[in-house]
Structure 1
Amino acid sequence: MIERPLLLVDVDGVLNPLGASLPGFTPHECVVDGQVYRVQLNTAHGPALLRLAEETGAELVWATTWEHAANEWIGPRIGLPELPVIEMPLPGLPGGPPPSGYGEMFKTPHVAAYVGGRPFVWFDDHTWEPDEAYLRDRPGIGEFLLVRVDARAGLTEADLAGAREWLSARQG
């Protein structure tokens, strides 16, 4: 049985653009562990991600430091169901990643451990060449596409189209 590819989704900088308010985005206040966060979300993102997953046979997964709070505060506001979560303890905390020497973002080892050999697309605003190198050099990591979302604009149709094209080319 061939496992479904994964669509990994970050929140801040991807679904919640950083900086000025943008047309189509609505501000929200979320309280996580007593901390108030102000986010701006676009209700078109949820249906667009669901459509991409359905068209490509992929599984949506949260890849964000919001972790399980994304299912409570972000998903319902943009029309996403509860999604699996890649847990991402911050560096220096128990379960956090050790330094690797690649210079990758702290999330990347957690993503590598989660995806196994499944192909995946990762929407994030902080993935760079060291993250690609880290993933390429890990045994058992399947094909992947890192979509570097512009944190000022958030997830765009062009980002989704690139992921759709990449995933469709692998459908057999």
Structure 2
Amino acid sequence: MKPLLLLDVDGVLNPMGPPAAGYRRYRCTIGAEVYTVHLNPAHGRRLLELALNTGSELVWATTWEHHANDWIAPRIGLPTLPVIPMSPGAPSEHGEMFKTPHVAGYVGRRPFVWFDDQVWAEDEEYLRVHQGLENFLLVHVDPAEGLTSRHLGMAQKWLTLSGFSQGPERI
């Protein structure tokens, strides 16, 4: 079973603070809504390298859902990725974020790294205690800063040291 690399968009790939060097501004239209996002094209290459080097699979874990494949992926150089459906769910019973039960249902027993700006101790407790999951790393990303080399390095190290990394894929 390949490990999963779960990606959020807002606060992770699209920082909420002033964009740093390397980010580009885009306007995305979804239905009647127009969104402005700041994306760094280098993120796509670096995420693909991480997935390749660890034998992991990239998956969208964002409220953008399939729109992430239309608006985000092509602008940072990612292919179309699987999407975790984020349909409205029941209110939190244990303090976890609304996405967490959807993530738990999608990952099953696969190991995963989840990059999100809203994952906290309550999400980890929900996954471990209420879902019985053990093999995951929640990487909290500062939404003002977005995804950094430090976050990617944490994922690489965890996947490698935990023995989940399957090494580079052969194409």
Q: Which runs of 5+ in 2 are unaligned?
A: 165-171
Taking CA–CA contacts closer than 8 Å with sequence separation of 6 or more, which of the two structures ends up with the larger relative contact order?
2
Over aligned residue pairs, what C-alpha RMSD do you find? 1.1
| Aligned counterparts, 1:50-61, within 5 A | 50-61=48-59
Distance 1:16 1:100 in 2: 26
**CA shift at 1:22, angstroms?**
1.6
TM-score (norm 2): 0.92
Partner SS state of residue 130, structure 2: coil
Counterpart in 2 of 1:132? Answer: 124
Moved more, 96-105 or 151-160: 96-105
Give the letter for the 2:26 counterpart: H
For 2:31 and 2:2, the matched residues in 1 are separated by: 33
Deviation (angstroms), 1:68: 0.0
The code of the aligned residue for 1:88 comes to M
After the TM superposition, which parts of structure 1 deviate over 2 Å for at least 4 consecutive aligned residues?
A: 138-142
Q: Which residue of 2 aligns with 1:6?
A: 4
Contact 2:104 2:131 in 1 (8 A): no
User: What does 1:94-133 correspond to in 2, within 5 Å?
Assistant: 96-133=88-125
Partner of 1:93: none
CA distance in 1, matches of 2:134, 2:114: 13
Query: Counterparts of 2:130 and 2:54 in 1: how far apart (Å)?
Result: 25
Which ranges of structure 1 fall in alignment gaps of 5 or more residues?
A: 90-95
**Once the 2 structures are TM-superposed, how far is the Cα of residue 19 of structure 1 from its aligned partner?**
2.4
Is the CA contact 1:56–1:171 (under 8 Å) kept in the aligned structure 2? no
Partner of 2:157: 165
Cα-to-partner distance string for 1:50-108 (whole Å, 9 max, x where unaligned) = 0000000100000000000000000000000000000102xxxxxx2223421111000
